[in-house]
Amino acid sequence: MHQARRRPPSQTWRSFLENHAPEIWACDFFTLPTLSFRTLYVLFFIDHGRREIVHVDVTVHPTAEWVWRQLIQATPWGASSGASSSVTVTPASARAS
């Protein structure tokens, strides 16, 4: 009979998160219905180490280019002074052309 290999003990998921929280960011992309039955798309980034929202932006017409721009603006790639926070609502008519 073949015995299973014993693995060395590893850290738990909780201890991994505690050890690496300063380097972990999370993002969420969700829809927000308005009172006028329009749909807004919200993208935000959270820094787990500092427990703060790093970047937020809102649009009515998300594109891959828009999402990429938000990532660049939220990270040090986007600015030499660090992360920035902004909220921008772009009307659909401006994107239609």
- The predicted structure's pLDDT at residue 82: 44
**pLDDT at residue 70 tops 80:** yes
Residue 83 near residue 55, CB atoms below 8 Å: yes
- The predicted structure's pLDDT at residue 68: 93
- The predicted structure's pLDDT at residue 96: 44
* Residue predicted with more confidence, 5 or 83: 5
For residue range 10-48, list pLDDT tens digits in order: 888 888 888 888 888 899 999 999 999 999 999 999 988
Tell me the residue type at 43.
Answer: L
pTM of the model as a whole = 0.61
Helical (H) or strand (E) element with 28? strand 25-33
Residue 76 near residue 82, CB atoms below 8 Å: yes
Beta pairing partners, 59: 41
